[in-house]
Chain A
Amino acid sequence: MSPVLADVLLVTALVGALALVHRPLGDHMAAVYSSKRHLRVEQWIYRAVGANPDAEMRWPAYLRGVLAFSAVSVLFLYVLQRVQDKLPLSLGFKAITPDQAFNTAVSFVSNTNWQSYAGETAMSHVTQTAGLAVQNFVSAAVGMAVAVALVRGFARSRTGDLGNFWTDLVRGVVRVLLPISVVAAVLLIAAGAVQNFGDIHTLTTLTGDKQDVSPGAVASQEAIKNLGTNGGGFFNANSAHPFENPNGFTNLLEIFLLLVIPFSLPRTFGRMVGNVRQGYAIVAAMGIIWLLAVVAVTWVEFAHPGTASQIAGGSTEGKEQRFGEGPSSLFAVSTTMTSTGSVNSFHDSFQGLSGGVLLLGMMLGEIAPGGVGSGLYGMLIMAVIAVFIAGLMVGRTPEYLGKKIGTREIKLAACYILVTPALVLIGTALAMALGTGESSMTNTGAHGFSEVLYAYTSASNNNGSAFAGFAANTEYHNTMLGLCMALGRFLPMVFVLALAGSLAGQKPVPDTAGTLRTEKPLFTGLLVGAIMIITGLTFFPALALGPLAEGLAT
């Protein structure tokens, strides 16, 4: 079978699997976040914490919960890394330096999972499982909670109540992320991923060489790393490492895991606002953008126009033999279009134009389908903007799902979409102006600039993948990228929750003949157009200096 045909089958199998679980998983999540009952284990947790799971919160209280939990998480993870050498199972690794520990703590709490360290020689068993893996769960659950709060803002009327943050957090972990992770982790082990708490183990090869084989609770972390769109690899090579991703089956499973919740949440949204067709319009917009990018990157990778790739005879640099161009492209697009950032091949060595598409995927704000939770709320903000643009065109007050998009709502949405572009562009410009960007480049020229742009785009959008030639472990970049990750995660959440509160307080406007039908394909088209135009206008100049310049030169 030709590689292209195999790749078409692979994408078809993936889309089929996602379509198959879209309804049951989406409905399950809607039920989870709407249920009045608490599971036994959840009741224990609430009792241990002293939280009342049935107390409703208005948006400031909900936000305080999010921020307090995240602040405590950053501090806890920071301390854990700083003292890991004194804890058991340290593998002899030293304590992490302050700037890198700050960067990593913010990175995992903000669901970015940018890594300026190499897991196999830096992080102890305890840091990996009790620190990093925990944030893989809870940062994902926080994202889902905020998305659900926004959905409640649309669904509820004449109330300021958005639900209870602690309840949403616990339910996301216990009823959604944990069960799927257990199944996925066991499947990964069955297919060859490792799962042990052993020591680094030195053996003698047939040639008489010594080789050190890494241990680790890899499969358990791999499952949630992708399911929670986190992306922080156990090892430096991330999902390219054969212990994390040993074959084509695990590769497909991992891509499925990182897409499944983001692509199912629109169903949850549709259920909760009482019209599943509204969810279909959203998921269609996500799917169109994702598929276009998959086709574009796969095409360029198979064509391999880069000079070195032409001489080699394929775009195989930075790719594993078992995956090859097609599955690597599929993984790369899926990881940058969600907020995952795990990689099974190194984006730095992709063809110039493919690298541009991957960058663009993150610049869109990771909404196609985006991170768990953050993808849905990002897309709903874009829907608000699209409705607003449509309203301007016909000269009528825009409405979405029976809620007026007034001055306050559009201000909040506008603030939301300004945050990450500001962080990306100012961050990149500062790094270039101060010379710290240039000194961290591995590549030269336009591609070198792309490395810096990619780093700040990845951090600000909470992706975490990298043009990994970029030497990120400097005091400057650890600090600045850490700030980008924190602001890029939590400032938008402030605007989302404020918007949710404002929407929930409104009384619904009845549908009339003049209401824009947001469940129709026309609206999906408008939404995709609005996303492309807004991102295009914002980032085109920066893209022209990096990947476009590189891609057009070859």
Chain B
Amino acid sequence: MRALYIARRFAVFLLIVWLAASLNFFLPRLSGQDPVRTKLLAEAQLGGYVHAGIEDMVKEYNQKFGLDRPLWRQYLSYLGDTAQLDFNYSISNYPRTVRDLIAEALPWTVGLLGMTTLLSFGIGSFLGALLAWPGAPRWMRYVMPPLWALHAIPFFLLGLILMYLFAFQLRLLPIFGGYSPGASPGFNIRFVLDVMAHATLPALSIILVATGGWALGMRGMMVTTMGEDYVTFAEAKGLRASTIFLRYCVRNAILPQTTALALALGQILSGAVLVEVIFGYPGIGALLFQAIRENDHFLIQGIVFTVIVALGFTTFILDVLYPWLDPRISYQRT
């Protein structure tokens, strides 16, 4: 049963990978552009005049890139390249490949997103659980409404406000980039502190927005869970309040939250892309912005494919872990 469950989830993951690759292949072709001709014409215009032989050049380049072959053969070779993570050269950073650029940017995004998602999920769930609990401190009532209102705001908008307050007015934190210009990257205390200072504002703008959402969801689940008979029974048995809270209520209420986490990852990532753009944080989002500005098709496609696959894989892992969190699922049909 377990193997079958994992195999089915993995099949869904492969389906996502294939769909992402096909999307990358077909969408630009549907629009009927000729990338080679556009590029050559643009270069010729830069040079000041259009060659008489430009059509011949287009033909030659098309042959070189295999664009004159039938569509299905292009598609197959594209799928083959993609499977080997070969996304071609980046047009705007020519000698470098798309794969290199992505590999350089990915750790920054994974670090920022991993940290902020875990923190906001943990803090939010904890606050939400406490909020539903009758014995919660009174001050919590005043913390929650602002957090819920923040939840309605896009990440990057809060980022702009935080940037103005803390980096421009108070000058407490750096305003731009992933580390100070001139700092030598390496594993020493100074560089690590520098990176953390630069990550604080982007991270804060994600955490402050996301926490309210998790708190809201957790509070709703806690209210339902606390109405269950087994909680009343636990109270009647005279169990300690902390035991009832953690082992009976939170343990059950956290399960739908985890499902929601798997579904929310895509949205969180969409928002984080813009945060990176605003703060010039050297991750995937900023790289994507640069690619869009310079019309670097290969780089855009490489990034979109990588991110979709990475997220699909994370969802797959969460799916596999879920029955372990919730024994009732027991790897049968979901």
Query: Are both chains from one complex?
Result: no
